């Protein structure tokens, strides 16, 4: 899979730099053409000669040295590489990348890069947990950078906690996954729904739910990464849409129904991550309802089940649903999968820590109509989204062969 692929490994200053030597060696053994860029600080931890010997290419450190590639090195490297991996990614370099600084060769290459970038952060626990670092990572993820979360454990400085760089085999596997999934949805249109709907009671009040849109936006981002045209039908959320998404903002379930039905004919795949209200007030008051001194009784009527309606007319399109459950996860999800005529269903128990509404992580099971199921570990929502997209790519491949 990696044969002939050009991979730039950026090494920053941190004790985990020694592990990058193993990564470079693994990538090269797998047939990749590996170029190493080291920051001047990284050279304090590992000698460039080690990296040069393992990669079989000159190592790039200086911004203004003699060209090693016969052009302007940083632009050349940024454009030629199929993948850029920064491992370890120090807090300092993550901050530079998030701010668009370009004061060393690696930072400059990152700024000039348009293709996929994988970051493997490694740093002291307190630095990693610092809200500034977390905000920088969140910003980079939002911009499409892939982040391999650091491991938890004993650190060289004596502290314990998250901050240990992912192990080289894990980084290697992530490189394979990224390069195998690249542009696999090219030419496909994917409709993603995200966020919660709001069912108006009057002009100032509504019935809503806790959906932040993070899961759906991550799915949209992963589909864009894979080369798809993405129509993102979104309930009201406070997130920046992934660059490239065609956003269709909606408020209520009825509006979402209209938008989805309008765009459905142009789609190859629909992924419904939105939390759609099943009921709405029968009447929405034109003016703010005043306190009358007594109770207020609202009559709720059923909303259309958008996914179920799509299931009736799906033809050869691929239909992927989500299920938010609070008990009997797999049984309830399996029933929904059949009832809505889906090709895949992502089930999450929203009562589990780190899963469901609002969190940056999710814990999901993936169910198929033939009874097959996979349970994924707790992962960042971006990672979950990429796993979902890779399964969708496999299903589309299978359909093409049939």
Nearer Cβ to ligand PMT (188/272): 272
Which stretch, 12-20, 56-64, 97-105, 272-280, contacts ligand PMT (CB under 6 A)?
Answer: 272-280
Position among 273, 329, 363, 388 found at the interface with ligand PMT (CB under 6 A): 273
Nearest to 348 by CA among 290, 388, 394: 388
Q: Which residue has the tokens 């911004």?
A: 63
Decide if 235 contacts 274 (C-beta within 8 A). yes
Nearer Cβ to ligand PMT (175/323): 323
According to DSSP, the β-strands at 361-362 and 300-302 are unpaired
For position 336 contacting ligand PMT by CB under 6 A, the verdict is: yes
- Cβ at position 230, least distance to ligand PMT in Å: 16
For position 335 contacting ligand PMT by CB under 6 A, the verdict is: no
- Cβ at position 340, least distance to ligand PMT in Å: 6
Binding mask 346-385 for ligand PMT (x = CB under 6 A): --x-x-----xxx---------------------------
Q: Tell me the site size for ligand PMT, rule CB under 6 A.
A: 28
Q: Helix or strand or coil: residue 246?
A: strand
Position among 51, 93, 253, 269 found at the interface with ligand PMT (CB under 6 A): 253
Nearest to 121 by CA among 81, 87, 92, 157: 87
Nearer Cβ to ligand PMT (124/252): 252
- Cβ at position 214, least distance to ligand PMT in Å: 4
Nearer Cβ to ligand PMT (38/344): 344
Site for ligand PMT in 116-155 (CB under 6 A): none
- Cβ at position 150, least distance to ligand PMT in Å: 22
- Cβ at position 270, least distance to ligand PMT in Å: 9
- Cβ at position 216, least distance to ligand PMT in Å: 6
For position 242 contacting ligand PMT by CB under 6 A, the verdict is: no
Nearest to 365 by CA among 339, 332, 338, 394: 332
Q: Helix or strand or coil: residue 351?
A: coil
Nearer Cβ to ligand PMT (268/325): 325
Decide if 275 contacts 197 (C-beta within 8 A). yes
Q: What is the dihedral of CA 8, 13, 19, 25, to 10 degrees?
A: 30
Q: Helix or strand or coil: residue 384?
A: helix
Position among 274, 318, 385, 389 found at the interface with ligand PMT (CB under 6 A): 274
Binding mask 186-225 for ligand PMT (x = CB under 6 A): -------x-----------------xxxxxx---------
Cβ neighbours of residue 168 closer than 8 Å, sequence gap 6 or more = 19, 20, 22, 23, 26
Decide if 221 contacts 237 (C-beta within 8 A). no
User: Which sequence positions are flagged as catalytic?
Assistant: 157
Nearer Cβ to ligand PMT (34/324): 324
For position 307 contacting ligand PMT by CB under 6 A, the verdict is: yes
Which stretch, 5-13, 54-62, 147-155, 318-326, contacts ligand PMT (CB under 6 A)?
Answer: 318-326
Count of C-beta atoms within a 10 Å radius of residue 196: 23
Strands, E assignment, 211-286: 229-234, 246-249, 269-272, 279-281
Cβ neighbours of residue 346 closer than 8 Å, sequence gap 6 or more = 273, 320, 321, 322, 323, 364, 365, 366, 367, 384, 388
Position among 322, 334, 337, 386 found at the interface with ligand PMT (CB under 6 A): 322
- Cβ at position 105, least distance to ligand PMT in Å: 37
Decide if 146 contacts 116 (C-beta within 8 A). yes
Nearer Cβ to ligand PMT (124/193): 193
Position among 13, 88, 311, 321 found at the interface with ligand PMT (CB under 6 A): 321
Q: CA-to-CA distance for 20 and 7, rounded, in angstroms?
A: 13
> If you write DSSP's letter for every residue of 259-277 in order, what string do you get?
HHHHHGGG-SEEEE--B--
Where along the sequence are the contacts to ligand PMT (CB under 6 A)?
Answer: 193, 211-216, 253, 272-276, 278, 303, 305-307, 321-324, 336, 348, 350, 356-358
């Amino acid at each position: 899979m990696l044969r002939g692929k050009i991979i730039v490994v950026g090494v920053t200053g941190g004790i985990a730099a020694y592990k990058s030597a193993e990564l470079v060696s693994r990538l090269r053994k797998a047939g990749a053409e590996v170029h190493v860029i080291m920051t001047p600080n990284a050279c304090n931890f590992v000698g460039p000669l080690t990296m040069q010997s393992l990669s079989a290419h000159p190592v790039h450190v200086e911004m203004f040295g003699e060209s090693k590639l016969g052009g302007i090195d940083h632009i050349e490297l940024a454009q030629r590489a199929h993948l850029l991996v920064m491992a370890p990614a120090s807090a300092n370099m993550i901050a530079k990348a998030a701010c668009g600084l370009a004061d060393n060769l690696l930072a400059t290459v990152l700024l000039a890069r348009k293709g996929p970038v994988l970051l493997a952060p490694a740093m002291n626990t307190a630095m990693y947990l610092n809200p500034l670092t977390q905000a920088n990572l969140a910003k980079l993820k939002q911009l499409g950078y892939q982040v391999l979360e650091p491991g938890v454990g004993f650190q060289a400085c004596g502290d314990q906690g998250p901050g240990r760089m992912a192990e080289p085999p894990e980084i290697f596997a992530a490189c394979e996954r990224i390069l195998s999934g690249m542009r696999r949805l090219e030419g496909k249109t994917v409709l993603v729904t995200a966020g919660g709907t709001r069912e108006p009671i009057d002009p100032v009040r509504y019935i809503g739910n806790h959906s932040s849109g993070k899961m759906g936006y991550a799915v949209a981002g992963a589909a864009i990464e894979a080369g798809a045209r993405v129509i993102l039908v979104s309930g009201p959320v406070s997130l920046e849409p992934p660059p490239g998404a065609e956003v269709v903002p909606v408020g209520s379930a009825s509006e979402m129904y209209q938008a989805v039905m309008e765009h459905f004919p142009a789609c190859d795949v629909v992924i419904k991550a939105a939390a759609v209200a099943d009921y709405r007030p029968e009447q929405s008051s034109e003016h703010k309802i005043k306190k009358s001194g007594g109770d207020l009784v609202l009559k709720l009527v059923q909303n259309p089940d958008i996914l179920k309606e799509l299931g009736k007319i799906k033809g050869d399109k691929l239909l992927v649903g989500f299920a938010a459950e609070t008990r009997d996860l797999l049984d309830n999800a399996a029933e929904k999968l059949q009832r809505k005529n889906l090709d895949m269903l992502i089930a999450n128990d929203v009562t589990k820590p780190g899963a469901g509404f609002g969190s940056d992580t999710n814990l999901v099971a993936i169910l198929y109509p033939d009874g097959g199921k996979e349970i994924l570990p707790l992962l960042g929502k971006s990672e979950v989204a990429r796993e979902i997209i890779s399964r969708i790519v496999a299903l589309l491949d299978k359909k093409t062969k049939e």
